[in-house]
Amino acid sequence: MAGSSIALRWIERLLVAVGVVCLGYYGYMSVEARQFQREQAATFESLLPPAESASGREVTQASSGETSPGRPDGRAGGRAAPSAPVAGSGVLALLDIPRLDISTPVLSGDDDATLDVAVGHLPDTPKPWESGNSAFAAHRDGLFRPLRNIRVGDEVRVRTLEGHFTYRVRETKIVLPTDLSVLEPGEGPTLTLITCYPFNFVGNAPKRFVVHADRLPADPQ
């Protein structure tokens, strides 16, 4: 019996030590991610074109105002996308959801390394300045945790080197990970935000929480 008690005490101590190490690592990674987000956001903001209207609801063209014919793939015209990520960082845009106090860089890609530090743009979906349904993803226990409080009608802003775009949340839904219909294009340019669900689930969550938002029309010039 004495031997069993000693073994149990050592197991308890080991579990406590593992828990402390895990918490410390999570805290360290969180600090590193926030620092990365601040640095990348500041760099990207310095390159952004100014908005053409003070309303905050516009879609602005880049500063040259040049446009190009429709793309051979059927997407809308406009300036060509940058041929390489900004300053090699992979930053595609800045995402802002004012009511939820979300403001973060969006990186190209949806791998774990990307989602550990920022929001990721699903590479198989159009970029925000292209027509179609652009999709962003992030961890539910990270940057997209506030999405649990998002409401229909909330404003979502995306700032890119190709212009500033504003969306209005149309609906939210809960789907299985295999449901790819959420990535299908709608009648106009849209933005889809995706994270795991339930938000308080421990481990690999079984479902996905999806936000669909429609781009607002540009203000008259």
Residue range 146-161, pLDDT digits in tens: 999 999 999 999 999 9
User: Can you read off the two tokens belonging to residue 201?
Assistant: 């689930």
Judge contact between 126 and 75, C-beta under 8 A: yes
Work out how many domains the chain is built from and give that number: 1
Note whether residue 139 is domain-resident.
Answer: yes
Q: CA–CA distance from 169 to each of 49, 89, 147, 173, 178 (Å)?
A: 25, 29, 11, 12, 23
pLDDT category at 18 given cuts 50, 70, 90 is low
- Mean pLDDT for the chain overall: 76
Judge contact between 209 and 195, C-beta under 8 A: yes
pLDDT at residue 33, as a whole number = 56
pLDDT category at 52 given cuts 50, 70, 90 is very low
**How far is residue 11's CA from residue 5's CA, in Å, rounded to a whole number?**
10
Residue 17 pLDDT more than 70? no
Judge contact between 131 and 164, C-beta under 8 A: no
Q: CA–CA distance from 2 to each of 12, 16, 76 (Å)?
A: 15, 21, 76
- Going by the DSSP 8-state scheme, the letter that residue 161 receives in this structure is T
User: What value does the mean pLDDT take over residues 17-38?
Assistant: 53
Cis peptide bond N-terminal to 105, omega within 30: no
Paired with 107 in beta bridges are 91, 120
Judge contact between 78 and 36, C-beta under 8 A: no
Q: Record the pTM.
A: 0.69
Note whether residue 159 is domain-resident.
Answer: yes
Lowest mean pLDDT, pick from 68-72, 88-92, 130-134: 68-72
Note whether residue 58 is domain-resident.
Answer: yes
**How far is residue 109's CA from residue 85's CA, in Å, rounded to a whole number?**
11
User: What value does the mean pLDDT take over residues 109-137?
Assistant: 93
pLDDT category at 49 given cuts 50, 70, 90 is low
**How far is residue 122's CA from residue 103's CA, in Å, rounded to a whole number?**
18
Q: Residue 106's domain spans which residues?
A: 2-215
CATH number at residue 59: 2.40.260.10
User: What value does the mean pLDDT take over residues 28-50?
Assistant: 64
Judge contact between 43 and 87, C-beta under 8 A: yes
Give Cβ neighbours of residue 6 (< 8 Å, ≥ 6 apart): none
User: What is the separation of C-alpha 147 from the centre of its chain, rounded to a whole number of angstroms?
Assistant: 11
